[in-house]
Structure 1
Amino acid sequence: MATDFSIYLTGSSYIDSDHPAIRAKAAELAAGLAGEAAIARRCFDFVRDDIAHSWDYRDNAHNPVTCRASDVLLHATGYCYAKSHLLAALLRANGIPAGLCYQRLALDDAGNFCLHGLNAVYLQDFGWYRVDPRGNKPGVDSAFVPPLEQLAFAFRSPGDCDLPEIWPEPLPQVVASLTRHATVEEVAAHLPDIELFPVRT
């Protein structure tokens, strides 16, 4: 039975793949390429390398908090969550199914955690494949090398974990963090998290 990918191809408020600027950029990135993997890799490289991560870019005067994919593209900056919204939008605009994934990572040694946003893209030769467009820096080296996953962060705390779902839309707490706070520093003080239920043994 064929899988229905429609929810991973449809535009929405925050993954606005039908926005003219998104469609134009998606077409530019796909130009001259053959095959979905090549197009997906170029979209990934663009978001990883050409869109600044908000926290890495925080010393710059023009660094608004972004959430909607078209705003991330316009301002060329965003937190990991916002960058994943842009990558999903570019992939969907190119007809490639894409969703949102999350990890839960320790912020410190005091038991505080936050979500980290990344993507899953469906490739015919590999199935669902996770990529992390957060942006590289010393100690962070994510890449598009299917079928190998090369994500931004290794687990360092016993509480670190992958959330297994592939979401078609951002989680509400992610949207809340990015839309209720005016500065990058305020978002950093209110990073989204999710409650995990204990596993029954």
Structure 2
Amino acid sequence: MDFAVFLQENKYIDFSSPLITGKAKQLFKHINTDAEKAKIAFEYVRDEIPHSFDIKAKIITSKASDVLKYKTGICHAKANLLAALLRTQGIPTGMCFQHITLAEDDSLGYCVHCYNAIYVNSYWIKVDARGNTNGKNAQFSFNKPLLAFTNRQNYDEFFWPGIYASPHKDTMEMLDNAICLQDVIDNIPDYVNEMPDIAE
């Protein structure tokens, strides 16, 4: 398997930024194994970078360095930061997508939710750094993925299969154009058109 695409830098996973490299050095000091690095980075992004909706953020972020700079982002932006931190260490990291309701019910429609896949110990694990607020309990697990959202049968909720090397293009464009959280609510995409880099 060619992991190179899961280690590449792009506009949104800008891991050569001094902000990203500096935080990576701080987080991974004296840490040797990829598994330990993955867990530390995941818990940092999950716990120390609040989800924009949770704190009613006044600024909208998309690229990893801005998420770190402003200490906030929605799930897609936080996933970019986690990928950037781990790619500095040569740890292949990708994105996975889920179709969920935007509100607690489907009154506001649906959106594409993003979480990460990390290649450690010779296989991919799934982690969701969205943030454990309002009863969510996403954890780092080498076994069954423990994500922020479960798919509910009474709604049109599901996982898009596969692992993607790049962020969701339509969502990134939406974030780049958004001025406030209401713009995100009004314009967040609800479908993934791209093909995954790894099929599942």
Question: How high is the TM-score relative to the length of structure 2?
Answer: 0.89
Which residues in structure 2 correspond to 1:14-33 (within 5 Å)?
14-33=12-31
Which residues in structure 2 correspond to 1:168-183 (within 5 Å)?
168-183=165-180
Whether the 8 Å contact between 2:106 and 2:155 is mirrored in structure 1 is no
Aligned position for 1:118: 115
Matched residues in 1 for 2:3 and 2:59: separation?
A: 33
Aligned position for 1:82: 77
**Looking at CA atoms only, which structure, 1 or 2, has the larger radius of gyration?**
1
Residue type at the aligned position of 2:14: D
Whether the 8 Å contact between 2:128 and 2:139 is mirrored in structure 1 is yes
More deviation in 112-121 or 185-194?
185-194
Aligned-residue offset at 1:43: 0.3
Extract structure 1 runs of 4+ deviating beyond 2 A. Answer: 106-112
Whether the 8 Å contact between 1:22 and 1:90 is mirrored in structure 2 is yes
Aligned-residue offset at 1:158: 4.2
Whether the 8 Å contact between 1:173 and 1:193 is mirrored in structure 2 is no
Whether the 8 Å contact between 2:98 and 2:113 is mirrored in structure 1 is yes
Residue type at the aligned position of 2:183: E
What RMSD, in angstroms, separates the aligned Cα atoms of the two structures?
A: 1.6
Aligned-residue offset at 1:10: 1.1
Residue type at the aligned position of 1:21: L
CA distances 1:46-80 after superposition (whole Å, capped 9, x unpaired): 0000001000010x5xx310001000000000001
Residue type at the aligned position of 1:148: K
Whether the 8 Å contact between 2:168 and 2:192 is mirrored in structure 1 is no
Residue type at the aligned position of 1:124: N
Residue type at the aligned position of 1:173: D
Aligned-residue offset at 1:195: 6.3
Aligned-residue offset at 1:30: 1.0
Which ranges of structure 1 fall in alignment gaps of 5 or more residues? 197-201
Query: Are the structure 2 counterparts of residues 51 and 195 from structure 1 closer, same or farther at C-alpha, using a change threshold of 3 Å?
Result: closer
Aligned-residue offset at 1:103: 0.3
Question: How high is the TM-score relative to the length of structure 1?
Answer: 0.89
Which residues in structure 2 correspond to 1:111-190 (within 5 Å)?
112-125=109-122, 127-156=123-152, 157-190=154-187
Give 1 or 2: higher strand fraction. 1
Q: Percent identity?
A: 38
